[in-house]
Copies of this chain bind each other. A is one copy, B any other.
């Protein structure tokens, strides 16, 4: 079993792209991905973990290359039969995808933890990385819109993010705890970097950070924490990030992302398009590195992953210098920020 060198916090498709790049850039076992489970929900009695599944499918080469979710070469007989019987059709469950939901639900009902089940699925899918839920406890993202509070999937899938977001809560986060394996990995002395993937900061990353004890655990990591901006030139790489920022009265740019993560991160990777924001972001105490963050090909994902690892080295060196010369204000240490 290799030692974890990079721990990456990720949501679904946007984050999974970078996770795959990191997996390719590292040796087997060196990447640990911590998946958001704030999107999890029970549908037709089945426990569905959309982000874990997107990660497992992506990291095992089983993801649908066209859609942002689901499996390659999927079939849809179940959905057809379900709709003939009047079952809900708004959440599409592919026949192969269903095998994961049925097995997971059965294992959870028999007392397995979500981490156990995720580990088993990853092993069966021969995923070379460690994939972990952020917590074994239930955390459910809820969205307040002008039409009232909505369950996450109701907002995200059924209403396709149309209602304007006014407020978000991560129900259960206060009584949830980080997965024990994550705590252990963050304490590891071989850890080179903690990565916040370019997932939606509000819907995918914030639920992870909201888990009781998560910020403290990240604060104890000696490795630098680096986010990749999901906003490129005021647009989201994927999904509704820009729309939500606008709903919340924020400018959709990398500086807003930096402001959001400030105190939790050491560095931010911004796209070349957003190079001009560097000074504004660094004035917030966040180091900036510029890269091509638009991962349209496998090569571009690996290139970004390698860039990230180099940036982490640079931050480690700086941090070391900083500690020696007493200039922690310039790059705030995570331990201090997490308090």
Residue-wise, chain A 67-108 has the 8 Å CB interface mask toward B (1 for contact) of 000010011011111101111000000111111101101100
Chain B, residue nearest A42 (CB): B106
Q: Flag whether A46 is at the interface (Cβ < 8 A).
A: yes
A124 touches B45 (CB 8 A): no
Chain A, interface SS category: helix
Q: Name the B residues within 8 Å of A106 (CB-CB).
A: 44-45
Q: Flag whether A284 is at the interface (Cβ < 8 A).
A: no
9 contacts between A and B (CB under 8 A): A45-B105, A46-B102, A75-B95, A79-B99, A81-B100, A82-B99, A82-B102, A85-B100, A98-B98
Q: Name the B residues within 8 Å of A74 (CB-CB).
A: 77
Q: Flag whether A161 is at the interface (Cβ < 8 A).
A: no
Q: Flag whether A337 is at the interface (Cβ < 8 A).
A: no
Chain B, residue nearest A43 (CB): B106
A80 to B73, CA, bound (A): 12
A102 to B87, CA, bound (A): 10
Q: Name the B residues within 8 Å of A102 (CB-CB).
A: 44-46, 78, 82, 87, 102
Q: Flag whether A291 is at the interface (Cβ < 8 A).
A: no
A125 to B79, CA, bound (A): 15
Chain B, residue nearest A97 (CB): B81
A125 to B81, CA, bound (A): 10
A99 to B95, CA, bound (A): 10
A81 touches B99 (CB 8 A): yes
Q: Flag whether A220 is at the interface (Cβ < 8 A).
A: no
Given known A-B contacts A44-B106, A45-B105, A45-B109, A87 and B75 have beta carbons under 8 A apart: no
From A98, A109, A125, name the one whose CB has the most chain B CB atoms within 10 angstroms.
A98
Q: Flag whether A164 is at the interface (Cβ < 8 A).
A: no
A214 to chain B, nearest CB (A): 29
- Cross-chain contact of A86 among B95, B98, B124 (Cβ < 8 A): B124
A264 to chain B, nearest CB (A): 36
Q: Flag whether A150 is at the interface (Cβ < 8 A).
A: no
Q: Name the B residues within 8 Å of A44 (CB-CB).
A: 102-103, 106
Query: Which residues A18-46 have CB closer than 8 A to chain B?
Result: 44-46
Given known A-B contacts A75-B77, A95-B78, A95-B95, A84 and B124 have beta carbons under 8 A apart: yes
A73 to chain B, nearest CB (A): 9
A109 to chain B, nearest CB (A): 6
A293 to chain B, nearest CB (A): 33
Q: Name the B residues within 8 Å of A45 (CB-CB).
A: 102, 105-106, 109
B75 touches A96 (CB 8 A): no
5 closest A-B pairs (Cβ-Cβ)? A81-B99, A77-B95, A81-B96, A45-B106, A82-B99
A125 to B103, CA, bound (A): 28
A304 to chain B, nearest CB (A): 31
- Cross-chain contact of A85 among B81, B94, B99 (Cβ < 8 A): B99
Chain B, residue nearest A95 (CB): B77
Q: Flag whether A121 is at the interface (Cβ < 8 A).
A: yes
